[in-house]
């Protein structure tokens, strides 16, 4: 039996589940926000094995997303306490649930989501990486800016989303403005990644599933809005090939991070060199399959069923 750990808003999971339904492949979808009304038990009565949906051993588990339940408690402190307890239950569940294989193990996923750690591992694998600095030292940022001829970008260390009541804002990758460097002393240097800006030919998203590589590229330079960050508009991706050596490095990176899946963002510069930007251990991919016909979902199903 396959277990899919996710939430109800995960449409990428829907995409795979629709195929599982059509192929009559048995599975259980566990929406984490429904944990309070999902059958679970653990204890001496079943030799300390976690039972979810009345099942103690799953052939494979696809770990996608988590979400805490909606708790109807008006006291905020008590609500937070209960939510923390549910969070702990999920963490424990991920640790003790029995399976032959994960796509990917949550512990490895959470560790690999740290961007500085990713850069460290990518550097060990000799990926080309844009010159990078993460610091709260104003002099170092200023030097870095002029070292790269006023051509550096700033991007979040982890979160790109700011939620306000009734609206959201995003922080994408942006070129640092000279006025901000000139007036740097007026700003607080909170955590952020600064990198040299690489002039791009195009950008790639390389999706690796159990050692198989699916490469897609996007012409982000054809649109002024997407030249710095392709996520600002909906651009069409197309299938592409990448050098064998790069392919091997992508597979090694995913393996070294302990993952079975990874969505890697890469830049190809105008000299034909490839630069590693980041890896998303649980990145989205359905839109790439829509655009390119790359059979990522089939590979995921193959991994989960064989």
Partner 1 sequence: MRPLILEYKESPKNSIFDNSIIEYSDLKNLSVIKGSGDPAINQVLMATETISKADDEPTDSDNDFSFTTRSLLDTSTETRNLNELSDSDQDFYSLMKLMATETITEAVEPTDADR
d(Cα 296, Cα 34) in Å, to the nearest integer?
28
- For partner 1, the closer of residues 31 and 252 by Cβ is 31
| Least distance to partner 1, CB of residue 186, Å | 7
d(Cα 152, Cα 147) in Å, to the nearest integer?
9
**The total number of residues written for the chain in this structure:** 306
3-state secondary structure of 246: helix
In DSSP terms, which residues pair with 274 in a beta bridge?
A: 268
| Least distance to partner 1, CB of residue 177, Å | 8
- For partner 1, the closer of residues 15 and 40 by Cβ is 15
Cα distances from 159 to residues 114, 193, 204, 238, in angstroms, run 11, 12, 21, 27
| Least distance to partner 1, CB of residue 216, Å | 13
| Least distance to partner 1, CB of residue 198, Å | 18
Report yes or no: 175 and 197 within 8 Å, Cβ to Cβ.
yes
| Least distance to partner 1, CB of residue 205, Å | 9
Q: Which residues in this chain contact partner 1 in the complex, by CB under 8 A?
A: 7-9, 11-15, 17-18, 21, 27, 29, 63-68, 83, 87, 106, 109-110, 113, 154, 156, 158-162, 167-172, 174, 177, 180, 184, 186-190, 192, 231-234, 236, 263, 280-284, 286-287, 290-291
Q: At what angle do helices 244-256 and 115-124 cross, to 10 degrees?
A: 130
- For partner 1, the closer of residues 49 and 65 by Cβ is 65
């Amino acid at each position: 039996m396959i277990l899919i750990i996710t939430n109800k808003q995960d449409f990428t999971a829907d995409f795979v589940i629709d195929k599982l339904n059509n192929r009559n492949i048995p599975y259980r979808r566990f929406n984490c926000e429904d944990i309070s009304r999902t059958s679970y038990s653990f204890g001496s009565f079943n030799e300390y094995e976690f039972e979810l949906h009345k099942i103690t051993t799953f052939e494979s588990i696809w770990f996608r997303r988590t979400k805490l339940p909606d708790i109807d408690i008006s006291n905020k402190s008590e609500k937070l306490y209960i939510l923390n307890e549910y969070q702990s239950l999920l963490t424990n569940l991920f640790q003790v649930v029995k399976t032959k294989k994960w796509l990917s193990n949550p512990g490895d996923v959470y560790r690999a989501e740290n961007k500085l750690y990713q850069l460290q591992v990518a550097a060990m694998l000799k990926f080309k990486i844009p010159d990078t600095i993460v610091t709260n030292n104003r002099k170092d940022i200023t030097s870095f800016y002029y070292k790269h001829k006023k051509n550096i970008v700033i991007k979040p260390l982890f979160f790109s989303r700011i939620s306000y009541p009734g609206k959201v804002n995003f922080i994408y990758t942006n070129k640092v403005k000279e006025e901000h460097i000139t007036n740097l002393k007026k700003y607080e240097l909170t955590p952020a990644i600064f990198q040299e800006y690489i002039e791009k030919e195009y950008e790639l998203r390389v999706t690796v599933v159990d050692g198989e590589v699916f490469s897609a590229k996007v012409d982000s330079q054809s649109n002024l809005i997407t030249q710095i960050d392709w996520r600002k508009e909906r651009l069409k991706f197309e299938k592409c090939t990448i050098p064998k050596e790069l392919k091997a490095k992508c597979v090694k990176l995913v393996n070294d991070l302990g993952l079975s899946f990874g969505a890697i963002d890469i830049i190809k510069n105008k000299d034909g060199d490839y630069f590693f930007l980041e890896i998303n251990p649980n990145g989205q991919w359905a839109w790439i399959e829509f655009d390119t016909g790359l059979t990522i979902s089939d590979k995921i199903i193959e991994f989960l069923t064989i």
